[in-house]
Structure 1
Amino acid sequence: MSDPNTLSLPDNASLFTRLRVARQCLEVLKDDPTNPTCGQLINICLDLNVYASLAQQLRRSEEGRRMLSERPSLQGKELDLDALERLPEGTLGHGFARYFRDNKISPFETTLELKNDIDFIGKRYRETHDLLHVLTGYATDVMGEMELQAYALGNLGIHTAKLILLFSAVEHFKAPQSGVGRSEFLRRVGAAYRRGRASQQFLGFRFEHHWETPVATLSARLCAPAQRMN
């Protein structure tokens, strides 16, 4: 198995190099699925062009250029969950802190060096995953995770999400989980994808400036309404 401490992606890496590093990361993630370095590195390997396009879009606005310059962080070491949880119930900060407490998980952390805007975009995408659970209402079970991947695919065009959805669909069709049949799985994933496409792009939003804003307000601002499932 590859040593995650030695894995890196050279500047201006070719497609072949990116695929090689991605394969090495997959070897690590099979035994260590929460490895923060490989988790971010495989995203950059597969979504380098997507992240480059997103960075270019951010540079078109003053706020986007400020974000790329300041590179705000939502890593666990930057978050005071106790303080956020003391905010009024219904606010983003309170809901975000409760999300981690209720699911018994910790905020995203990585040791990967940010060498350029693309690295920052990859990190920001990983950091906002848990915030999207709070805003979209998608659960943290297998079905909810796939809905969120489909939402991110529709909203940003993330290639990694395609791979995860394809793998999950194959596994689900072999052995449906959580009482969700094949047709419902496809219907819910499709609805989440369309919702993501219809929603405001979330990656350039400064969530850390809105801890005291109600979740309902931010959800209405950033997310298209969820499709009702019959």
Structure 2
Amino acid sequence: MRRLLLRAVGAEEEVEEEEGWHQLYPSHIPTSPLQKALLAAGSAVMALYDPYRHDMVAVLGETTGCLALPNLRDKMKHHPEGYRILQERPCIRLSTLDMSRLRGLPDGSLGREYVRFLEDNKVSPDTRMPPKFVDDEELAYVIQRYREVHDLMHTLLGMPTNMLGEVVVKWFEAVQTGLPMCVLGAAFGPVRLSARKLQVLATELVPWAIRSGLNASCILNVYYEQRWEQPVESLREEIGIFPPPAVRM
């Protein structure tokens, strides 16, 4: 178990070949159902203790997404734009982004606001961990894509990266994806918020996030890399995301 957790957070440089293992993609670590259950329990405890442990959040998402990921994959397969994404497998990394071009786009465009979000919050798309414990190569891409568009959800929803903003995004993503990891984050993230922020969350932000999540089309069916010039407001309207409430975050 300790060895699996080390692999989960990338603490071992080499993964030894073990009898019966079949690696489905370069970062894949085959695990039994029991091992997945133990990893899910351990990562859940760590993620609840420290919600900013993105490595543990990632492990939790992979080891508990056995029902949600096939459902998301099927939604993508039955949507023209989602199907193209599954076929072409785009990835959002600094190596695939023309940051200078995105910075030069008009204010309000998806590309300009996405770069503004990255720079204002000092985050990078390269920090997203590759999938390891998903035992299907196509589903591994689905969860990788979900991770890569997470910052775009912050951009579209107008939410910062503080705890309140992360909880709101998790509520939206929980409704959209059904991933248990999102449900857990939405349910337990608020315990660290102040009374004032809890009131704002409960009375304004959560109802808006749930309504938007239910109303919006699947967020994985948008080829964001081909929408950089599109105004954020236009893309929100197209997807079905309601304008965010004017509250102090």
Whether the aligned pair in 2 keeps the contact of 1:93 and 1:211 (CA below 8 Å) is yes
Change in Cα spacing, 1:39 to 1:166, as seen in structure 2 (3 Å) is closer
Q: Is the 8 A contact 1:9 1:41 kept in 2?
A: no
What pairs up with 1:179-194 in 2 under 5 angstroms?
Answer: 179-180=196-197, 182-187=198-203, 188-194=205-211
Q: 2:111 aligns with which of 70, 80, 93?
A: 93
Q: Deviation at 1:191?
A: 2.6
Q: What residue number does 2:221 align with?
A: 204
SS in 2 for 1:90: coil
Report the secondary structure of 2:218's partner residue. coil
Q: Compute the displacement of 1:154 (Å).
A: 1.7
| Distance in 2 (alpha carbons) for counterparts of 1:147 and 1:66 | 29
Q: In the alignment, what sits opposite 1:67?
A: 85
What code does the residue aligned with 2:129 have? T
1:41 and 2:62 aligned: no
Say if 2:129 is the partner of 1:110.
yes
* Conservation of the 8 A alpha-carbon contact between 1:82 and 1:97: no
Q: Indicate conservation of the 8 Å contact 1:87/1:93, yes or no.
A: yes
Unaligned runs of 5+ in 1: none
Q: CA deviation at 1:62?
A: 4.1
SS class of match (2:37) = helix
What is the percentage of aligned positions where both structures have the same residue?
24
Which residue in 2 is equivalent to 1:166?
187
Could you report, residue by residue, the CA deviation over 1:116-174 in whole angstroms, capped at 9, with x for unpaired residues?
111111111111111011111123222121111111112222211111122223333xx
Q: Which residue of 2 aligns with 1:123?
A: 144
Aligned equivalents of 1:158, 1:126: Cα separation in 2: 12
Following superposition, the deviation at residue 213 of structure 1 comes to 1.2
* Contact in 1 for aligned 2:128/2:147 (Cα 8 Å): no
TM-score (norm 1): 0.82
Alignment partners' CA distance in 2, 1:55 and 1:28? 28
1:103 & 1:83 partners in 2: Cα distance?
A: 20
Whose RCO is larger (CA < 8 A, sep 6+)?
A: 2
Structure 2 stretches lacking a partner, 5+ long: 16-27
Please provide the CA RMSD for this pair: 2.9
Q: Work out the CA distance in 2 between the residues paired with 1:59 and 1:193.
A: 25
CA contact (8 A) 1:58 1:65 kept: yes
